[in-house]
Amino acid sequence: MKELAALAYRDTTAENREFWKNEMGQALREIQGVYDEKLESMRSEMETFYNLKVTVTNVAATDGVTILFPLKKLRHF
């Protein structure tokens, strides 16, 4: 009985600290992974959009078409 009481009341601070340190580390790695995936997706999407705009601009320039934006639209960018 005394042995069980000793086990129940022993100091587990170091064990708890290590457990939560590992759990928090794992959670942060998961969050970082999700963040990195989302960031890469957004970067890829922006790069595609940019390349499309450059292509449209180049095609318009080679066709002799002038691309003009109304002054109002430029002020909103």
Instruction: Tell me what pLDDT residue 22 has.
Output: 93
Closest to 56 in 3D by CA, of 47, 65, 46: 65
The average pLDDT across 9-14 equals 73
Answer for the pair 44, 51: CB distance below 8 angstroms, yes or no.
no
Could you read off the pLDDT of 54-75 as tens digits, one per residue? 888 887 777 665 555 554 455 5
Residue 72: CB atoms within 10 A of its CB come to: 7
> pTM to 2 decimals?
0.56
9-13, 44-48, 62-66: which is most confident: 44-48
| Cα–Cα distance for residue pair 60/53, rounded to 1 Å | 10
Higher pLDDT, 19 or 73: 19
Domain that holds residue 69: 2-75
Q: How far is CA 58 from the centre of its chain?
A: 32
Instruction: Tell me what pLDDT residue 11 has.
Output: 66
- What is the number of domains present in the chain? 1
- From residue 50, alpha-carbon distances to 2, 5, 37, 58 in Å are 73, 68, 20, 12
